[in-house]
Chain A
Amino acid sequence: MTLLEKRPQPSRAWAWATPLLAVALTLVAGGLMFAALGTDPIAAIRTIFYDPLFNPLFAGYSRPQLLVKAAPLILIATGLALGFRAGIWNIGAEGQYIIGALCGAGAGLALYPLDLRLIFPLMVVAGAAGGWAWAMIPAILRTRFNTNEILTSLLLVYVAENLLASMAVGALRNPDGGGFPGSRNLSQWGSSRNVELIPDTGLHWGVVAAMIAVILAYVLLQRHLMGHHIRLAGQAPRAARFAGVNPSRLIVFCLGLSGALAGLAGIFEATGPAGQITINFNVGYGFTAIIVAFLGRLHPVGIVLAGLLMALTYIGGELASFTLGIPAAAIQAFQGMLLFFLLAVDVLTNYRIRTWKGASA
């Protein structure tokens, strides 16, 4: 008889090993998927995971892209992970990312074409505030009316996308753009440019913000009472009440923080890599960050590694679609598969698979 038996306490070893096991299983399953698509699986996996970093032909372009793509993922995932730990499910980071970008860009463009050093910091603050405010909608609906934040935060993504479309052709449209949708180019206006701090590394202010966020989240979770309360609320809500945790305050804190971080990711993207607000400005970082958060085991350090890995699949995926003709969507399926495998092998952390028959003692 095979049975799952609950471990007396969670296994630390498995907690670290499961993400690696999940990645390995995903490589196998992904290889099979690529084979089914008619691509040599070894070549596909090499193109996705090896070439962007080490193939001299591509590494020059791809390596800096790693930080560029990982920064928003890490920034958003760090915030989401805090909420997920507390059992607060913000799955609308994509919308908060969009609104952050819109607010930040709006704040900056209102002052165009002033040449002021303060404009960029102002845009960053406005971006964070925008993401925060958008996340406050599900937060307040949850605390005041007990409305499920999963559904509201997600539905607000579609609202945000429509707002983005409206802004790109309306209020934020570049008046000198000849009627084309899209804002002025923010990365070419000195006051709003999110500069690459060290040339050819991809290291822009968003990366710095992500690193700061990770460090603060680490301290919060390990050393601060708030972090303890977050974990408590997620694991045992009644025990959290007993410890004096105010659930409403926690919801506002977690949703607000994750919204602000998503908003930051949005404005750094708009002023840097994306350069402008367009109709299809958002590329799904808010959703991929959910995978990053889980793959990183909701732990700040794990999230950094997971963010880099996920960024690599983006870059490698583009490369594979360019050189091998693997459809871009395959990468999305690949990422989803990774989350499946992670959730599946996660059982080993809390349970052991026990096979025994008859009396043993």
Chain B
Amino acid sequence: MDLSSISPALVVASLMVASTPLLLAALGELVVEKAGVLNLGVEGMMITGAICGFAIAVETGSPPLGFLAAMAGGAALSMVFAVLTLVLLANQVATGLALTLFGLGLSSMLGQGYVGIKPPATARLDLGPLSDLPFLGRAVFSHDWMVYVSLGLTVAIWYVLTRTRAGLTLRAVGENHDAAHALGLKVVAIRFAAIGFGGAMAGLGGAYLSLVRVPQWTEGMTAGAGWIALAIVVFASWRADRVLLGAYLFGGVTVLQLNLQAAGSALPVEYLSMSPYVITILVLVIMSARRSRATAAPASLGKPFHATA
């Protein structure tokens, strides 16, 4: 194995790219779960976003339009989930699974004509002299604009959740929906908004995969990224700053194993490919074994809400 072929700056750069879809999807799910809703359909919304974004970007030649379309696609799918769970009071776990199964089928149907096409390139954000810095310029300041958007969103979501009235309201709904209802908070409306936001973010993450990270469309290309995003939220103990840490950690594992594959590691390829999943499981175990109150899930997470009076 030839480790010298691995350039640290390139590893960091590709780590950021590999982490961005996970970060986007996990941030969205964080907001959804903070509102007390467990949406297991992240994988389905991601892959729907991936094909919506890809198709629109190819048809219009504009990646920004593609990302917008991906958000719309993910959000549209999430609205199906919202109507089922919030209005028709369907089981959240089952509905989330249905969303994933449906999204996988829908996306490969929509993607029939797009296999093997190269999408228009997403523009690199020009950071001027920053990009010329040694190491950091290559590793951190030479990315497409979506990478920086995802980082900005992390800060924004952290701020809204912890510092604003809107965030407090959202957390209150996720903590105790009956009390929130008794105080006059619009539980269902708030959850609709949160689910829609989560769907848009998952769609964005999916489009980042198909437009930047890979970049092309293949069936089932999310390959469990949505599930890893769900795991990252647990890992992060429902905190935005730790979601960033979690996403970059998992992105790092992925990049590392890819680099080891390329460098010709003694370990068979299959074992390297399974490592991100194995490590995700291990991290989940460690996090759940040392649950304390500071790291507990929102108390109403996954519970149905039906206002009786």
Binding site for B on A (CB under 8 A): 4, 6, 37, 84, 89, 91, 141, 144-148, 150-152, 154-159, 162-163, 165-166, 170, 287, 290-291, 294, 327, 329-337, 339-340, 343-344, 346-347, 350-351
B215 to chain A: which residues have CB within 8 Å? Answer: none
Beta-carbon contact of B90 and A343 below 8 Å: yes
Q: List 9 A-B contacts (CB under 8 A).
A: A145-B285, A147-B285, A159-B281, A166-B268, A166-B270, A166-B271, A327-B112, A344-B84, A346-B88
A146 to chain B: which residues have CB within 8 Å? Answer: 288-289, 291
Q: How far is the CB of A310 from chain B (nearest CB, A)?
A: 12
Beta-carbon contact of A162 and B93 below 8 Å: no
Q: Does B80 contact A (CB under 8 A)?
A: yes
Beta-carbon contact of A290 and B88 below 8 Å: no
Chain B interface residue bracket vs A: 35 or more
Q: Mark B224-252, 1 if CB is under 8 A from A, else 0.
A: 10011011001000000000000000000
Q: A155-B281, A294-B94 are in contact. Are A329 and B274 (CB under 8 A)?
A: no
A144-B289, A333-B102 are known; give 15 further A-B pairs, CB within 8 A: A146-B291, A151-B231, A151-B280, A151-B284, A156-B277, A162-B270, A162-B271, A327-B109, A329-B108, A332-B101, A332-B109, A336-B101, A336-B105, A337-B102, A343-B90
B95 to chain A: which residues have CB within 8 Å? Answer: 340, 343
Q: A145-B285, A347-B88 are in contact. Are A333 and B270 (CB under 8 A)?
A: no
Contact of B306 (CB < 8 Å), options: A6, A339, A344: A6
B83 to chain A: which residues have CB within 8 Å? Answer: 344
B106 to chain A: which residues have CB within 8 Å? Answer: 329, 333, 336
Q: Mark B251-275, 1 if CB is under 8 A from A, else 0.
A: 0000000000000000010110110
Q: A146-B291, A150-B93 are in contact. Are A340 and B84 (CB under 8 A)?
A: yes
Beta-carbon contact of A343 and B84 below 8 Å: yes
Q: How far is the CB of B94 from chain A (nearest CB, A)?
A: 6
Q: How far is the CB of B126 from chain A (nearest CB, A)?
A: 38
A290–B100 CA distance with the chains assembled, in angstroms: 12
Q: A4-B89, A158-B277 are in contact. Are A91 and B97 (CB under 8 A)?
A: yes
Q: How far is the CB of B308 from chain A (nearest CB, A)?
A: 8
A300–B178 CA distance with the chains assembled, in angstroms: 36
Q: Mark B75-91, 1 if CB is under 8 A from A, else 0.
A: 00000100110001111
A333 to chain B: which residues have CB within 8 Å? Answer: 102, 105-106, 109
Task: Tell me which residues from 102 to 133 in chain B have a Cβ below 8 Å from any Cβ of chain A.
Answer: 102-109, 112
> Residue of B at shortest CB range from A89?
B93
A-B CB proximity, top 6 nearest: A336-B102, A332-B105, A333-B105, A329-B108, A166-B270, A162-B274
B172 to chain A: which residues have CB within 8 Å? Answer: none
Q: Does B98 contact A (CB under 8 A)?
A: yes
Q: Does B40 contact A (CB under 8 A)?
A: yes
> Residue of A at shortest CB range from B280?
A155
A339–B40 CA distance with the chains assembled, in angstroms: 14
Q: How far is the CB of B52 from chain A (nearest CB, A)?
A: 14
Interface of chain B: mostly helix, strand, loop or mixed: helix
B97 to chain A: which residues have CB within 8 Å? Answer: 91, 290, 339
A34–B243 CA distance with the chains assembled, in angstroms: 40
Binding site for A on B (CB under 8 A): 40, 80, 83-84, 88-91, 93-95, 97-99, 101-109, 112, 219, 223-224, 227-228, 230-231, 234, 268, 270-271, 273-274, 277-278, 280-281, 284-285, 288-289, 291, 306, 308
Beta-carbon contact of A343 and B112 below 8 Å: no
> Residue of B at shortest CB range from A145?
B289
Q: How far is the CB of B146 from chain A (nearest CB, A)?
A: 25
B98 to chain A: which residues have CB within 8 Å? Answer: 291, 336, 339-340, 343
A158–B291 CA distance with the chains assembled, in angstroms: 26
Beta-carbon contact of A158 and B88 below 8 Å: no
A151–B101 CA distance with the chains assembled, in angstroms: 15
> Residue of A at shortest CB range from B224?
A158
Beta-carbon contact of A344 and B88 below 8 Å: yes
Beta-carbon contact of A148 and B270 below 8 Å: no
A162 to chain B: which residues have CB within 8 Å? Answer: 270-271, 273-274
Contact of B281 (CB < 8 Å), options: A156, A337, A350: A156
A166 to chain B: which residues have CB within 8 Å? Answer: 268, 270-271
> Residue of B at shortest CB range from A157?
B224
Beta-carbon contact of A351 and B112 below 8 Å: no
A170–B269 CA distance with the chains assembled, in angstroms: 12
Contact of B89 (CB < 8 Å), options: A84, A340, A351: A351
Beta-carbon contact of B90 and A141 below 8 Å: no
A327–B115 CA distance with the chains assembled, in angstroms: 13
Q: How far is the CB of B222 from chain A (nearest CB, A)?
A: 11
Q: A151-B230, A155-B277, A166-B271 are in contact. Are A145 and B288 (CB under 8 A)?
A: yes
Beta-carbon contact of A347 and B90 below 8 Å: yes
Q: How far is the CB of A129 from chain B (nearest CB, A)?
A: 21
A150–B302 CA distance with the chains assembled, in angstroms: 13
Q: A154-B227, A156-B281 are in contact. Are A4 and B306 (CB under 8 A)?
A: yes
Contact of B80 (CB < 8 Å), options: A91, A141, A334, A340: A340
